[in-house]
Every structure is written in structure tokens, then in C-alpha cells.
Structure 1
């Protein structure tokens, strides 16, 4: 860029580089999705089309950014995780957040007609998302964050399933249903569903109860006795900044070759992480044999 007398304005830019050797989570949330879901008549308590659309857009983000190692989504939110070794955009917060949000939104809009063919998007009811970046100093805390989101998914879904069953099948008003559910615990809601409506919550689809986890699929590994509890590491492998350019390029090519899978499983217990050690280590595994 040519120098000019106006270049001094660059001095007003503030640095926003995130701490090195920390996990970066970019969490996005839908803006005004209550109005959007009402306008396009999303099914209650869950609209499988809407969830599949969120997952499809998130999968494209994962494919577009090989630095991402895992993502978790529920309802109108998604958390995208960068490994501590990642040096993408020199770890600048604004660049990471805006890239994730804009890429996700672009694919969400692009793919909309595949999931809602009879409901074309029209202003002012257009989907948009906001985002923020949060850093976590260790894999244990990163896992606690992911567990928090999955627990939140279960709590919210049990409530919403009970509430909308009472309203839609029980013909109760929204106010009466809210009032009856005040102060109830999980066992109370399960009892309402089973005794009044013959619904066993355990039989609900896993995507509704557990949310969606996206990761690159390599050959699953059998956990070793010493790996039942995943180690709490702050810097589990060599930072990318210390790798040669050819090593970085090779890792990214291998990650791009790996299939991004969408799963609905328990990510709170150790088993998920122990069988997929590449997520925490930041390395790449062995690609499954194509059948």
C-alpha cells in the first residue's frame, strides 16, 4: 500500500490477537430467530428441517476451514473450535469471528431452498447471526464448555417438548402450560409426558436430546487403559508457528481429505474423546478405507 498523509488513521486500529496456545471457540447465535421461525412456520418443539439446515451450513464451514477441529450445534446456535496450535489469521479475534459468521450465514441462505422449498426467503425475515470468540486455557475446560452446551440442549429440549405437547396435544394455553411447569424438575416433566400423553422421552430422536457434533472422521481407536480419562493439556502438540510451511500445508491437505461427519452422541463422557484422540491432539488420524 502506498504511503500517504492519511495513513496515520491506521494507528487507531486496536490489536485483538487472542492468547497463544489456547483453545478458541467462536460461538454464533441466530438474531431474531423467534420471529423468523414463526414467520416460516417452524414445527414445534423441533423442526428437523431447520436443524438439518444448521448442520449442513456448519459442515460447509468445517470443510472451508481445515483449522477447525470440532463444532457443536443446537437450535439456532453453533460453537466452532480452533485447536491451540491454530495460527489462522494470526489469531485475530475479529477476523476469526467475521469469517465464521459470514461463511455460515452465506451457506445457510444458499442451502435454505433445499430444506424449505415451499418457503422462499423474503425481507424483512432474513436469517442473520452474531458471534463472539472466547478462549479456554486447557482441553479440560474446553470439554467442560462443550459439556455445558450439551447439558443445556437436554434441559431446554425436555422443557420445550413438555411445554409444546401440553399446548398442542393437551390444548392448554401457553400461560397455563408455563404456570404448571414452573418449579418442575426433569422427573416431573418425564411423568407429564408419559402419564398424560404416552410419550417416553427416552425414545425421542437423539438429535433433539443431544444436539449435533461435527468432526473430521478418521479410523476410530480403541481407548487404551491409560486414556480412559483424557489428559488436561494446555499445549498438546507442536504449535503451527514452529512447523515448516510444508508441514502446515500437508496437515491442511490431510484434514481436507477427511470426511466431516455429523453425529448426535454423548460428548460429556470420556469415550467420545478417547476414541477420537486427533481432536484434542490436533494431529490427523488414518483415513478410513473406502468401501
Structure 2
């Protein structure tokens, strides 16, 4: 950057580096997606094309940012978990949030035609905002992910009952909303089963549990995701090897429970501490 008399303006920039030794969650959300769903006539309560597009865009984000250890998504949101020792963009809040959000938006728009053939995407184009949140402990990070998956279940159960009442039960949207007001999960399950013969537990897991994206490594590597040979993890050579290892890893896209311990016990390397 040229050193001129105008260079003083750089002093107005705020350094927004996030604290070290913290897991960084970059969460993106769709802007104005209620209107977008109506405009392109998304299926109710869930549109297979729409969620497949979300997952495909998220997979490309995970491929592009090797420091993302896991991503979790549902509806029009996705959370990308960066390793606690990431040095990407010097851990700057604004850089991380905008880079993830813009890449996701670009992938979503570019891949639209692959999932909605014959439906041209028009202005205003879909966009996603992003925010960064730091979590200092693995337990708190897991609670965050559990919170998002619980939210997925609660929202999907409501939407499933609501639209079943409207589309199959002949209620208006106002009548369905009034009928479900103050109802508990058990009440909603009872409505589905007794009135429509639907067992909510038989609904596809992609709707009930959301989507988890992570890297899986070859069998010759240890379960914690490292090689058996000890090396200085901070050396330039080792960092480059680690980057290549992540780039070669298989990207897994699954719909499974991440609240219980089973998922994490079988894949301890995902949240293995790198401090």
C-alpha cells in the first residue's frame, strides 16, 4: 500500500480480532427468505430442492475453508465451526463473517439452476448475512450445536402439523395457527397421528435433525485425526501437510443426532483440542 499523505485514514479502521483459543462459529442466515419461499413457490412444509441447494452450498464452503471442522444447517441457516487455533484472516471478525456469507451466497445463486431447473432466479437475488460467536470450551460449543438441532426439531414439528392441517385438514392458516396456539410437542404428535395417521418419528431425518457436514480421514490415520509420527504442529512444513491432509479428506454429509454423545465419541478428532 502506497505511503502517502492520505495514509492516516487507516487509523480509523478498528482491529476486530477474535480472542485466541476459542472455537469460532460463523452462522449465516437467509435474508427475506419468507418472501423468497412464496415467490418461488417452495413446497410446504419442506422443499427437498431448497434444502439440497443449502447443503450443496454449505459443502463448498467447507471445502474452501479447511479450518472448518464441522458445519450444521437447517432451514435457511448454517453454522460453520472453525478450529479453536485457526489463524485465518488473523481471526478478524469482519473478514471471517463476510467471507463465509459471501461465498455461501455466491454458491447458492450459482447452483440454483441445478436444483430449480426451469425456474430462473431473479432480482432481488437471495443473500445471507453472517455473524461470529466465540465459544471458549468444547462443552459450550456442543451446547450451541444441540440448541440449533433442538430448534430444528421444534420448528419442523410445528411446520409439519401446521401445513398438514392446512393442506390435508382444510383449515385456513389462521385456523391452524389458532388450533396450535399453546400446544405442546405431545399435542402436535397426537394431532398428526389421530387425525391424519402420520407418525412424526417416521418423517425423514433430514427434516427432523438437520444436516451435519464434516471431514472423514483415511484409516491409516489415528482416530484423533493426527498421524502417528510426532511433529511440531507450528512448523511451516507441518502446517502445509495438515492443510493438504484436510483438502484430501472426504466430505461427509449426514442427518444424524449430534445432541447425544454417540456422534462425537465415534469422531473424537472433530473437536480435538489444538491449543
Is 1:130 paired with 2:121?
no
Mapping for residues 161-240 of structure 1, pairs under 5 Å? 161-218=160-217
Where does 1:20-169 land on structure 2 (aligned, <5 Å)?
A: 20-124=20-124, 126-169=125-168
Answering whether residue 12 of structure 2 is matched by residue 2 of structure 1, we say no
Give the gaps of 5 or more residues in structure 1: 225-240, 284-291
Contact 2:97 2:130 in 1 (8 A): yes
How far off is 1:50 after superposition? Answer: 0.4
Q: Distance in 1 between matches of 2:256 and 2:108?
A: 23
Deviations 1:173-228 (A, max 9, x none): 111111110111011000000110111101100000000000001368xxx9xxxx
Establish whether residue 278 from structure 1 lines up as the match of residue 269 from structure 2. yes
For 1:242 and 1:275, the matched residues in 2 are separated by: 24
Contact 1:23–1:135, Cα closer than 8 Å, also in 2? yes
1:282 CA displacement: 5.6
Q: Equivalents in 2 of 1:2, 1:280: separation in Å?
A: 42
Residue among 246, 254, 265 paired with 1:255: 246
**Matched residue of 1:25: which SS?**
strand
> TM-score of the superposition, structure 2-length normalised?
0.93
Q: Please say if residues 216 and 261 of structure 1, whose CA atoms lie closer than 8 Å, have aligned partners that are also in contact.
A: yes
Cα distance in 2 for partners of 1:259, 1:282 equals 21
Distance 2:197 2:217 in 1: 41
**Change in 2 beyond 3 A, CA 1:242/1:10:** farther
Aligned Cα RMSD in Å?
1.7
d(CA) in 2 for partners of 1:73 and 1:16? 26
1:277 CA drift (Å):
1.0
**Secondary structure of residue in 2 paired with 1:281:** coil
Q: 1:267 aligns with which of 258, 262, 273?
A: 258
**After TM superposition, what 4+ stretches of structure 1 lie above 6 angstroms from structure 2?**
none
**Structure 2 spans left out of the alignment, 5+ residues:** 224-231
Answer yes or no: is the 8 Å Cα contact 1:69–1:282 preserved in 2.
no
Deviations 1:101-123 (A, max 9, x none): 11111111111000000211011
Alignment length (residue pairs) = 265
Whole-Å Cα distance in 2 between the matches of residues 274 and 120 of structure 1? 44
Cα 1:147–1:219 shift into 2, 3 Å: farther
